[in-house]
Chain A
């Protein structure tokens, strides 16, 4: 037991003196090689969003090819596989992971915890530049002989490094090297996020008073630090297989009558390594989204989050469980069938904490004072989409149902709903929500509503029919359906419908980009706290927050982040750093 002297409102005195900040002396160290987490966050976000646009356009090309085979003369089977691979890898790793952890993590962790900055600003800066280097290497693979790899984003050997797969000469090497650089860069950032949350909070900010956004990003960062090593090792070993001629993943292969110089390796070993990273990766993206959406819902429904404590435990439980479900991606890989039973069970167990979260979001909305602002629209859309995407996960999580659905469009539809559309909706909601803090101006609302409705309805028009195609047996990763008798004409028509919708929804994203740029100058002045929110990032000394975030004195936290509509309080929200009000007795803090 530690004897803690308690000050006013039960807040212990400061344990460590205020840190000395690095003060930039030139424009370059201020805005380019910046050590300020807020600038690094913007650098991460802008880079990731730009890659997102590129990946979006790659998906356009794929959709055009699927609906109108041969319409674009430069897309042959090889080019199609390259598009698929680059689209998938960019979106999963270089957009979603980087944006949630590098972007939102850097911006929100210090501000929400009442810290001056991340604990290691220099390593934080390096993290971004390593990320940028990884991106440059990835994009350079478009320019090398043979083009980028077409191995599919899962890079399964042996096909990823045998003849016939595009990008065998250079693309696959660039991809693996880029991933390794990304992982090194992420490790530097991830250590920062984790240590800042554990050791860098302000007075009164207990773990159970942290906004759920921070809980989500924190748990995801811990998971990433433990999951990325598996991908790193897999990448090293595959690089050796490709460059040194080792046979970690390569069995004996006869190619056109000739025996390749490989033998004795295990392709399934790579799948295990890849999915030991790959499944936690799904939740590395989803957990920050869960956290952010909890905060958006609470703020815009003017109601405290329902079951805060359970929400925290659900995040931690999902994070832990996600490390023991990986082989549900491998039911048809030829692994021991008994594994299937184990991994199906753990997979379905994850539904429990996830359902707790969904119920709690709905109960937070129950009798709330719901403001249908643009961030709230996106948050609500997320809940619906996540439930829909999660339900098809029940199909794919069961071995017997998964086997016929494997490698069909059903799988594509499932993970795009649950891991593509749902987190992207949260990213949009979060950008509309925090943009005023970053720039001091609100995003344009009518344009935002247009963006929302086109994106939300469009996503359903794209991915719902795709489930149907999958049930009919249309395989994924085929660059055209061809004139196969088993697919009715309606399947071809649906394909065209999906493509047209995808082009429109993609175009709507450029309206969003325009909004981001236009509002920088012409948006409505936001003031310090436009959403009247409780958490600390809205209580900074100025908006946008200055270097050091909080002026002379760091804020002291007296309560949790969800004191909305407290009976008897003068306003419908009480900021976290508001000292106890006269007559305030009870403990509402968790």
Chain B
């Protein structure tokens, strides 16, 4: 008898080891990334796309800053807070950064408790994350107000290159919008967790699909990304 089999290189390579088997796993049928759900794959690819958005913003800002012929305002002085007569450079930004990074911590804990199916703790940690995120946006609003009072506008500022204000409002505004959307979705998902939607498989209002606790982790991916972007904005805008 002739042996009937339509094997292919992919299947054969998966039985071997090394790089060939990694490539073969990626190329294998049904799923390129085993044990990665659709939602999680989508979020990763979206974040990759969003990385390009923020990269373009930051590179454009750096181009403007490097090619300007008038002095660039000194961030340590512009972003200083005066408390009791002493000027603390970057004090507010330091607090904002601390708050946002801490919120990543509560988010990570929320993901952990989500996978333990601990409804209440997960929801509370997510709400804590949302509160920290809202605090961040609030402090950003305070910072914007302060700068606007000092005469910073998108088209001009008292200290030097007009592109300072333009880039500042555009980049922090775009990041702040991301945080705000994150806060909204944190609250939405926390509500679903608390109500037990993910335990009983209740269908989504828009998509009419059953959700599960992985939503918490996908939300977490987005939140950590927003934090990571802030680290770059902090480094390139405030510390430079």
Contact = CB atoms under 8 A, between A and B. Distances in A.
Given A1-B16, A207-B27, A195 B38 contact: yes
Interface string A505-530: 00000000000000000000000000
A69 B63 CA distance: 44
B60 A273 contact: yes
A481 B169 CA distance: 46
Nearest to A231: B56
B10 interface: yes
A247 B28 contact: no
A12 B34 CA distance: 13
Given A195-B45, A200-B38, A225-B49, A206 B63 contact: no
Contacts of A204: 29
Contacts of A269: 60, 63-64
Contacts of A276: 56
Contacts of B27: 206-208
Interface stretch (B81-89, B110-118, B139-147, B205-213): B205-213
Contact of B209 (A20, A580, A584): A20
B42 A195 contact: yes
Contacts of A202: 29-30
B14 A236 contact: no
B155 interface: yes
Interface in A1-54: 1-2, 4, 6, 9-12, 14-16, 20, 22
Interface string A213-246: 0000000000001101110111011001000111
A451 interface: no
Contacts of B162: 246-247, 263-264
Contact of B28 (A12, A194, A266, A559): A12
A395 to B, nearest CB: 31
Nearest to B55: A229
A587 interface: yes
A201 interface: yes
B166 interface: yes
A178 B34 CA distance: 38
Given A14-B30, A247-B166, A580 B4 contact: yes
A551 interface: no
A203 interface: yes
B45 A225 contact: yes
A587 B155 contact: no
A588 B6 CA distance: 8
A585 B16 CA distance: 21
A226 B54 CA distance: 12
Interface in A511-553: none
B176 to A, nearest CB: 14
B30 A16 contact: yes
Interface residues of A, number: 71
Given A122-B207, A580-B4, A590-B9, A229 B31 contact: no
A244 B34 contact: no
A124 B38 CA distance: 14
A187 interface: yes
A119 B42 contact: yes
A248 interface: yes
Interface string B1-26: 01111111111001111000100011
Nearest to B49: A225
Which of A120, A201, A229, A230 gathers most chain B CB within 10 Å?
A: A229
A492 to B, nearest CB: 45
A266 B45 contact: no
Interface string B33-59: 110111001100110111011011100
B6 A225 contact: no
Contacts of B5: 9-10, 580, 585
Contacts of A582: 4
Nearest to A268: B63
Contacts of A261: 155
Contact of B2 (A264, A557, A585): A585
Nearest to B16: A1
Contacts of B170: 236-237, 240, 246
A513 to B, nearest CB: 35
Contacts of A12: 28-30
A126 B57 CA distance: 26
Contact of B42 (A10, A191, A229): A191
B56 A233 contact: yes
Contacts of A263: 162
Contacts of B74: none
B235 interface: no
Interface string A259-279: 001011110010001001000
A585 B32 CA distance: 27
Contacts of A199: 30-33, 36-38, 41
A198 B33 contact: yes
A386 interface: no
Interface in A157-209: 187, 190-192, 194-195, 198-209
A558 interface: yes
B211 to A, nearest CB: 13
Nearest to B15: A1
B41 A209 contact: no
B53 A232 contact: yes
A207 B45 contact: no
A322 to B, nearest CB: 14
Contacts of B63: 266, 269
Given A4-B15, A122-B206, 6 more contacts: A199-B31, A202-B29, A228-B49, A264-B161, A266-B64, A580-B6
12 contacts: A2-B14, A4-B14, A195-B38, A198-B31, A207-B32, A225-B45, A225-B52, A229-B55, A264-B70, A265-B64, A587-B9, A590-B8
- Ordered nearest first, which 3 A-B pairs have the shortest CB separation? A589-B8, A229-B52, A233-B56
Interface of A: 1-2, 4, 6, 9-12, 14-16, 20, 22, 119-122, 187, 190-192, 194-195, 198-209, 225-226, 228-230, 232-234, 236-237, 240, 244-248, 261, 263-266, 269, 273, 276, 557-559, 580, 582-585, 587-590
